[in-house]
Structure 1
Amino acid sequence: MSISLNPYLNFEGNTKEAVYFYEKALGAKIVVLQTFGEQPENPDYPLTDEMKQLVMHAHLKVGDGDLMFSDTFPGMPHQAGGDSVQIALHPTDENRAIDIFAALGDGGQVVMPLQKTDWSPLYGIVKDKFGITFQINVPGELNQ
């Protein structure tokens, strides 16, 4: 049996901005970016012009992994940020790790600066400008 797993991030009206930010910061490739307005209209649930611009589904390919996104549909509850779930990235190249950390930290907050640890030659934690927390971890002997 095979299974895959990926984070699916929800935003409140700024998913397009987030997708383009992560595309650049992570060197990712946009696979899909689809708005609510691109879907067939349901007369029982008419969409305003503003709602039509919101992202229904977006998919980024990040190395071998996948990151997906959506805007919260207007009127639905949304809770931004939080630290109960964090995204761990494992670049094998230290220079790439430094670049990713800096890009994610632009407008965000460094929680733990990049540094050598017992398990990694370079590890750090950064919360980006969207409130998403990333652990950047260059694989070392203990975590390969």
Structure 2
Amino acid sequence: MSISLNPYLNFDGNTKEAVYFYEKALGGKVMGIMLFGDMPADPEHPVTDEMKDRVMHAHLKVGDFDLMFSDTFPGMPFQAGGDTVQIAIHPTEEAQARAIFAALEDGGQVVMPLQQTEWSPLYGIVKDKFGVTFQVNMPAEQPCVE
């Protein structure tokens, strides 16, 4: 049996901005964005004007992995960020690790600067401007030049 998992991130009306931010920061490719307004009209569940431009589902491909996104309905409880789930990124090159970290840091907050650790030649934690926390962790077998 085979199974695959992927992070699915929810935002409160700014999913499009987040998807394009992550596309650039992580070197990904947007595979598709579907808005609530793109769906066929259903009189049983009408879509308000406020909902039409919100993202129902977005898909970003980063390497071999998928990130998926959606906006919440207006008025639904929403708590940005949180530290119960973090996304770990494992670039194999120092320049790539530094570029990703810098891109995620833009408008965000460094939790732990990039540095050598016992398990990694280059590791750091950053909470981006959307409140999502990322661990950037270069595999130990890669040399790191300070």
TM-score bracket relative to the smaller structure:
over 0.9
TM-score by length of 1: 0.95
Aligned to 2:56: 56
CA deviation after TM superposition for structure 1 residue 57, in Å: 0.2
Q: How many residues align?
A: 141
Measure the CA separation in 1 of the matches of 2:32 and 2:8.
13
Q: Which amino acid aligns with 1:100?
A: I
Q: Which amino acid aligns with 2:2?
A: S
Measure the CA separation in 2 of the matches of 1:42 and 1:11.
24
Task: Give the secondary structure class of the aligned counterpart of 1:17.
Answer: helix
Which range is displaced more, 131-140 or 77-86?
77-86
Aligned to 1:98: 98
CA deviation after TM superposition for structure 1 residue 7, in Å: 0.4
Measure the CA separation in 2 of the matches of 1:26 and 1:70.
18
Measure the CA separation in 2 of the matches of 1:31 and 1:127.
25
Gaps of 5+ in 2: 142-146
The alignment-based identity, stated in percent, is 77
Aligned to 1:77: 77
Task: Give the secondary structure class of the aligned counterpart of 1:98.
Answer: helix
Task: Give the secondary structure class of the aligned counterpart of 2:131.
Answer: coil
TM-score by length of 2: 0.94
Measure the CA separation in 1 of the matches of 2:49 and 2:24.
28
Task: Give the secondary structure class of the aligned counterpart of 1:41.
Answer: coil
Measure the CA separation in 2 of the matches of 1:109 and 1:55.
26
CA RMSD, Structure 1 to Structure 2 (Å): 0.9
Is 1:9 the equivalent of 2:23? no
Aligned to 2:19: 19
Measure the CA separation in 2 of the matches of 1:79 and 1:39.
26
CA deviation after TM superposition for structure 1 residue 108, in Å: 0.2
Q: Deviations over 1:67-122 (max 9, x none)?
A: 00000122322221100100000010110000000000000000000001111110
